[in-house]
Structure 1
Amino acid sequence: MTDEPVTLDISDGIATVTLARPKALNALSQPMMTALARRIDALEARSDVRAVILTGTGRAFSAGGDLIEFERALRADKNTLLTYLRDNQDILQRVEDIPVPVIAAINGFAVAGGLELLLCCDIVVAAEGARIGDGHAQYGIVPAGGATVRLRERLSPSHAAQLFYTAGLLDAGTLMDWGLVNDVVPPATLMEKARGIAREIAGRSPEAIGHIKTLIGGGAGAPGRAERVRAELDRFALHVDGKDLAKGLEAFRTKQPAQF
């Protein structure tokens, strides 16, 4: 048993990174994001890793950002919150920039920041019953982890718009039909499926796969893409001066429906 919010296991060239705050539905708190960054440091120091599996424990892959922390940061200072979001955005970019293929094994809910983390992965397999969505608008929040760029790269504009504007959650099967999820399997076989894909990757040329990932991925180096991701923070800075963010965070804290 460990108190680490993110764990790392490496075996036979396959790294498994696990979000381990199940009681908090793996909410992406500052300690969890810092721990995730440390795990990426460890991966970057290894030359033997051929594939990475990213998953969660308990009922959720990740329920998104820690909105209690959001509200605390907002009350302290607008710039405190924006710095927090910028740091998180940079860590998510580091996940996308891992030089080997990253497989998301979606064990449960993946919402808002959880969706943004999923979108940084190359391949997505999900357990039956997993539900995925953006969710930001439910609590008056503008996405700030790259979703407005990455989701539009994965889905049609109308499908992405539905997820953003309704803030609803969809089942993994629907999102497989839409092209976001590669495969949906029974929960008991989720990790077996992810490891099977990872083993296939591990048996291929790592140099070729590294070049292919650079060519087919968006990545920070794509023309104009980094600027579009950063533009989310510019919009968030404007949004903080409105009324809806404070209303949404209070609704989350008090467990009441937000009234906008």
Structure 2
Amino acid sequence: MSVSQAKKGRVGWITLERPKAMNALSREMIESMTTTLLAWQDDPEVRAVVITGTGPAFCAGADLKTAGAPAAPGEKDFLDRIVDFFDLLRAFPKPTIAAVNGLTLAGGMEAVLCCDIVLAARSARFGDGHSNFGVFPGGGGAAILPRKVPANVAKYLLFTGDALSADDMKGWGLVNEVVADAELAGRAQALGEKFAQKSPLVLCKMKQVANEAADKSQADALRHELLALRDHQRSWDIQEGLRAFVKKREPQFKGY
């Protein structure tokens, strides 16, 4: 399968384990990760998800040796499946962290673009790479990358196929933190556990409003936020948070 899943505390880890192939994504890997995310989205034991890789690459994109294989009649092909996975990851109701351990290109970059937070090992490098093989992006390379970094930076990555350093991408706003290679897993776990201490209901609603804000006018985005707050005022978590504040104790959130 070349993908492992594990729960470490309240953080779910998805690890790409195909290092000799630069963690290139096969249909089986996509199906495995999709199944895991579908199971974890309603699992109260998982409050945040980390995606990372093993070896010299986070992910070099789709496995071009198999990605173009035709699907059986009535079944989804590779493009359908990987787009479904990206859509699920992008809208996942819990915080997602890309812990980028090495080279990330093409579909690997598109997976990073779907995550809420990007942590990078200092040796990591980021690029698009589709143009190197005459392939057109289909999971956000051309559509989402210019929303994450300045348009001229996105076009540089798209047109040249080159990869930039983790420090470069932090400067352009894609990467939140750059850490020493040996500290990447520990930092991702610590950040996931920090998220797990918060109200999962609050984080879910915040993520939804933030994800949709860029496609709305400022007035509509503020209206969406206010409606979400009005709905949230009926929840257990806000009452528990206020009780904990008054009594100067740690809140015990339940997610409803």
Report if TM-score (shorter chain) is over 0.5. yes
In 2, Cα distance between equivalents of 1:99 and 1:149 = 22
Higher helix share: 1
Which residue in 1 is equivalent to 2:54?
Answer: 57
In 2, Cα distance between equivalents of 1:42 and 1:60 = 26
Which residue in 1 is equivalent to 2:185?
Answer: 191
SS, match of residue 68 in structure 1: coil
SS, match of residue 208 in structure 2: helix
17, 23, 26: which one aligns with 1:26: 23
Tell me, yes or no, if structure 1 residue 42 matches structure 2 residue 36: no
Identical counterparts, % of pairs: 37
Which residue in 2 is equivalent to 1:7?
Answer: 4
Runs of 5+ in structure 1 lacking a partner?
Answer: 224-260
91, 101, 105: which one aligns with 2:99: 105
CA apart distance, 1:184: 0.8
In 2, Cα distance between equivalents of 1:87 and 1:132 = 23
Instruction: Indicate if the aligned counterparts of 1:89 and 1:146 stay in contact, CA closer than 8 A.
Output: no
CA apart distance, 1:41: 2.2
Which residue in 2 is equivalent to 1:182?
Answer: 176
In 1, Cα distance between equivalents of 2:203 and 2:144 = 21
CA apart distance, 1:42: 2.1
Which residue in 2 is equivalent to 1:143?
Answer: 137
In 1, Cα distance between equivalents of 2:185 and 2:98 = 10
In 2, Cα distance between equivalents of 1:83 and 1:8 = 24
Instruction: Indicate if the aligned counterparts of 1:6 and 1:19 stay in contact, CA closer than 8 A.
Output: yes
**1:9-53 deviations in whole A, cap 9, x for unaligned?**
113211111111112111011111111112112212412211111
In 1, Cα distance between equivalents of 2:172 and 2:130 = 20
CA apart distance, 1:149: 2.0
Tell me, yes or no, if structure 1 residue 170 matches structure 2 residue 167: no
Distance 1:91 1:222, change over 3 A: farther
Tell me, yes or no, if structure 1 residue 161 matches structure 2 residue 155: yes
Instruction: Indicate if the aligned counterparts of 2:11 and 2:46 stay in contact, CA closer than 8 A.
Output: yes
Instruction: Indicate if the aligned counterparts of 1:5 and 1:35 stay in contact, CA closer than 8 A.
Output: no
Which residue in 2 is equivalent to 1:250?
Answer: none
Which residue in 1 is equivalent to 2:209?
Answer: 215
Structure 2 counterpart of 1:9, one-letter code: A
CA apart distance, 1:102: 0.2
Structure 1 counterpart of 2:66, one-letter code: E
CA apart distance, 1:138: 0.4
Structure 2 counterpart of 1:196, one-letter code: A
**1:74-94 deviations in whole A, cap 9, x for unaligned?**
xx69x99x9321221111111
Structure 1 counterpart of 2:112, one-letter code: L
Q: How many residues align?
A: 215
In 2, Cα distance between equivalents of 1:218 and 1:149 = 15
Looking at both structures, which has the greater relative contact order when contacts are Cα pairs under 8 Å and sequence separation is at least 6? 1
Structure 1 counterpart of 2:9, one-letter code: D
Instruction: Indicate if the aligned counterparts of 2:24 and 2:63 stay in contact, CA closer than 8 A.
Output: yes
Which residue in 2 is equivalent to 1:134?
Answer: 128
Runs of 5+ in structure 2 lacking a partner?
Answer: 217-256
Tell me, yes or no, if structure 1 residue 89 matches structure 2 residue 83: yes
SS, match of residue 10 in structure 1: strand
Instruction: Indicate if the aligned counterparts of 1:7 and 1:39 stay in contact, CA closer than 8 A.
Output: no
CA apart distance, 1:222: 5.6
In 2, Cα distance between equivalents of 1:218 and 1:10 = 29
Which residue in 1 is equivalent to 2:253?
Answer: none
Instruction: Indicate if the aligned counterparts of 1:19 and 1:55 stay in contact, CA closer than 8 A.
Output: yes
Q: Superposition RMSD on alpha carbons, in Å?
A: 2.3
Distance 1:11 1:129, change over 3 A: closer
Look at both structures and tell me which one has the larger radius of gyration over its CA atoms: 2
